Structure 1
C-alpha cells in the first residue's frame, strides 16, 4: 500500500480473479494490516479474513510451516477450490506453500507482479509419501520386545534422564543411599520409574555384581506365598517335585526388590518381619534354619502411614523398611522435563527398536504430549511414543498421529480439587504442577519473553520468574 493506494501482488491478483473468501496471514504490525484490510475490503466484494503468525524469523522453516499448515487446516473444506498466491513473502515461505500445496492441500498456484500481471503457475513435479507403517518391518520377537517395556537390567543413574531439579535431587539422594547398607522405600505412582531407581541403587552399590531379585507382592498367590519367599524341599506339598530356592535365598549377597509392597497381607508381613530381624528363615518341608544376607528395597504407590493408622500395615515393619525414603513425582508435574524426556526416550529407544530410528516428533505433537495428564507416567509415555512410531506415515510423528496413539481413560483423570487425601500425594507437587502448567502456556504465548510472562502471571519481576523457572526445572 502506498499513499492510500493498493499495490503489490495481492492487489494485482484480486483485480483480475474472483474469490469467495480471501485469507491473509501476516507478520506485520496490527496498524499496518488493519489499514490495508480496510482499503482492500472497499475494493472487493468477497469476505477478507486476516490472522497474525508469530514467527521468530521470516526464514524459520518450522514456524512458517506450523502457521501455514494451521491456516489451511482451519479454512480448507473437502469441497474447497483452493488457490495459493506464491508471490508475497520470503523464499522460505514460498517453499513451504509449495510443499503444502503439492502434498496435503491440492491447489492452484498463482504468482503476480505489477510488471507481468497475474498468471497460474504449473509446478512440474509431484511430492508424495507412501504409507508403509514401520510395524511391517518388525518380526515377532522384535514386537515382543516392544511390548515388554521393562527397566533396563543394567540401569544406572545416568539412565534416569532429567533436566529438572526435583528428579536430580532424588538421583543425588539415591546415589548416597546406594553406598549405605540401609533399607530403601520408594514411593510413586505406577509407571514413575520405581524399579529403575531400585536397579540403579543396586548397580551403584557394593552388591552390583550380585543378584538383583525383583518380586511383585501384588501377584503372590496366597497358597504359594511361603514357597515363593522361603523356598521348599522336595515333597513339602503336592506338586513340589524338586527343591526350590525362595527369593530370600536367591537374593543372598545381593538385593531383593519387593514391588507393590503395600499389597502384602498381614500374615505375610509378620513372616517378613522375622526374616528382617535376624536374616533367618526355614524352607517349607525342612527343619534346618537358613540365613540370607540381602539388601532390601521396597516400592509402593500407597500411603503406608495411612495404612498403618488404619491397621492394615504393621507399624514395626514400616519403620524397619522406611529408612531411606524416596518419593518420585508423577510425570504430569514434570512439565519442564517433558520435551527433554521425549527427545531422550526417542534416542535411547531407537538403539533398541528399529521402528524408532530416524523418527522425530513435530512441534504440534509435542504440544499434545504436554497437554496430556499421563496417568500411566513414564511407562505410558514410552508405550505411546512406540505406538505413534509404529503407525506414523513419515519420519516425523505429527499432531494427529500423536493424538491417535494416546489412550484417554474416561473417569480416570482426577481434578486438582478431587484428589483423595487418603492417597499419598504432596500438596507442594500439586501447587508446582499448576504453576508449571501456566508458566509453560505463557512462555509459548509470548515466544519466551520472561518480562511479559512475569506481567501476565503476576510475578514481581522477570528475575522472580527466573528463580521459579529454575526451581520448577523449566
Structure 2
C-alpha cells in the first residue's frame, strides 16, 4: 500500500524540533507499514528538502515528492488539480492500493481528498491525532459512483458551504427577531463604508454577511477578496497580504499582487482575523493607517483603497486583555460590529433553514430526486446542538440526501448522516488555566446550553425540566434562568 499526503506545517515543525510531537506523517509511518510515500507540498523548497532529509533518516522507504503551485492553501481549484493529478498517476502506474492521510494540510485539502476518494479513486483513509493516535477512517457515506467533473464542483461547493459571489441580504434566511435586527444593522453598515467586525462561531454565516454587505455597498462593482488568515503559512503572510516582486525570494519567478492590491477599490474580507500573529498585526495596522503596501522585495510603497471586513470566532477583547491581540488594531477594525448568534439560539429558524438548504441542494444536483424531510427527521434535526451551525446542518442534509433510498429523508437517514463528535466535556473542562479563565462565564455557558434543551424536551414544563437537570424544583430552575439570563 502506498501512502499519499500533503506536507503540513506540523510535519515541518517536528523536523525542525519546534514541537515535541513527530507530526502526522511520521506518526503514521511509525504505526503502519507502507511500500512507498508520495507527498504533495506548497511550502518553500528549502524547508521541504530539510524535512524530507529528516524523514528519510527515520524511515527507509521509497519517497516521491511533488510540488503543487497553489494560489493559496485554500484555493479549491488548484488543490483539486494537484490532488487529482497525483492520484491519477498512481492509479495508472500500479494496481497497488492507495492510502490517503487526511490530517496534514488545510480543511480545503481534506475536503478534496474525501471527494476524490469517494468518487474517482478507491482509497483507504487514515488520520493521525494526538488524542486518538493513528487510525484508519471510515467515511460513512457514498457519493455517486459515476464521476462527472461538473458534478464534482457542485458537490465541492455544497460540502464546504461556499458562499455565492452574488449573495445579498435576502439570501440570509431567518424569521428570528435578533437575526432580523442584525440584517437591518448590516444594511446600514453596508452604505457607510466603515470597517466591520463580525463575531460568530464557525458556520454561523459570517462570510455570507460580509458578502452581502459588500454587494449592498458603493464598492459592489469592485473586487471582494476573501482571505482565511488562519490558513496562511507564516513565512508567506507578507507575500499573500502585500505581494512580492520577481526575484524577491527563492521561487518568486513572477511579480505577484497581494490581496490588498487585488482588493483595491473594493473589499478585503479577513476571515479568522483573530488568528493573526502579533508581528503581522503590527504590519497590518501600518497599512490601515497609511493606505500603502510595500510588496516584498520592492523599494517603493503602493497606494491602496480597501474596505476591511473582518470575522472571528474569538472574543477579541479577551485576546487584547491577554496580550494576544493589539488594542489599537482592534479599535481600528471594530467600528461596525455584528455578533451572529449560533444556530441553537435562533429560535424558529432551524426548520426553516433545513427546508431551504435541502431545496438548494436539489436545485444544484439538478438530476436528483427531490425528497422531503419526514416528521421524525425534522424532530431529530431540532434536537441537535449543531456545534458546526449552518455549515454542519447543510453537510448533514447533503449526506442524508445522497443515500436516502425512499421518497423521504427519514430520521434514520439523518442519524446515519450525523458525525458523532467527541464531546471533550463541551470544551468546558479542558481550558488552559495558565492563560486565565472566567469561571463565571463557563458556568453561564453550561447553563445557557442545557436549560433551553431541557425545556424543549419537557415541552416547557418547568417542573419536568428541573427534574431532567437534577434541580430540586421549578423555583430553583427559575432562579438559575434569572441568574444566568437564559433566553
> Aligned-pair distance for 1:217?
0.5
Give the equivalent residue in structure 2 for 1:145.
Answer: 154
Tell me, in whole angstroms, the C-alpha distance in 2 between the residues paired with 1:426 and 1:212. Answer: 37
Give the equivalent residue in structure 1 for 2:400.
Answer: 388
> Aligned-pair distance for 1:301?
0.7
Tell me, in whole angstroms, the C-alpha distance in 1 between the residues paired with 2:273 and 2:292. Answer: 20
Find the residue that maps to 2:144 and give its secondary structure. Answer: helix
Give the equivalent residue in structure 2 for 1:372.
Answer: 384
* TM-score normalised by structure 2 residue count: 0.60
Give the equivalent residue in structure 2 for 1:414.
Answer: 426
Contact 1:388 1:405 in 2 (8 A): yes
Of the three residues 326, 333, 338, the one matched with 1:321 is: 333
Change (3 A) 1:224 1:170: same
Contact 1:373 1:413 in 2 (8 A): no
> Aligned-pair distance for 1:375?
1.3
Change (3 A) 1:137 1:426: farther
Give the equivalent residue in structure 1 for 2:205.
Answer: 193
Query: Where in structure 1 are there 5+ consecutive unaligned residues?
Result: 1-132, 446-456, 460-473
Q: Which structure ranks higher in relative contact order (CA pairs < 8 Å, sequence separation ≥ 6)?
A: 1
Deviations 1:314-371 (A, max 9, x none): 1100111011111111112224211111111112232212366521110101111111
Change (3 A) 1:316 1:138: same
Find the residue that maps to 1:232 and give its secondary structure. Answer: coil
Of the three residues 208, 212, 231, the one matched with 1:219 is: 231
Deviations 1:25-80 (A, max 9, x none): xxxxxxxxxxxxxxxxxxxxxxxxxxxxxxxxxxxxxxxxxxxxxxxxxxxxxxxx
Give the equivalent residue in structure 2 for 1:13.
Answer: none
Of the three residues 222, 233, 236, the one matched with 2:245 is: 233
- RMSD between aligned residues: 3.1
Deviations 1:134-189 (A, max 9, x none): 83576343134223331111111111101111111111111111011111011111
Query: Where in structure 2 are there 5+ consecutive unaligned residues?
Result: 1-141, 462-472, 476-486
Q: For 1:345-360, what aligned pairs fall within 5 Å after superposition?
A: 345-354=357-366, 357-360=369-372
Contact 1:331 1:374 in 2 (8 A): yes
Contact 2:163 2:207 in 1 (8 A): yes
Find the residue that maps to 1:298 and give its secondary structure. Answer: strand
Tell me, in whole angstroms, the C-alpha distance in 2 between the residues paired with 1:147 and 1:338. Answer: 23
Contact 2:372 2:407 in 1 (8 A): yes
Give the equivalent residue in structure 2 for 1:33.
Answer: none
Structure of greater Rg: 1
Contact 2:428 2:442 in 1 (8 A): no
Give the equivalent residue in structure 2 for 1:293.
Answer: 305
Contact 1:226 1:284 in 2 (8 A): yes
**How many residues in Structure 1 have an aligned counterpart in Structure 2?**
319
Contact 2:424 2:430 in 1 (8 A): no
Q: For 1:62-81, what aligned pairs fall within 5 Å after superposition?
A: none
> Aligned-pair distance for 1:430?
7.4
Tell me, in whole angstroms, the C-alpha distance in 2 between the residues paired with 1:342 and 1:225. Answer: 38
Contact 2:197 2:336 in 1 (8 A): yes
Farther-moved stretch of structure 1 (198-207 vs 353-362)? 353-362
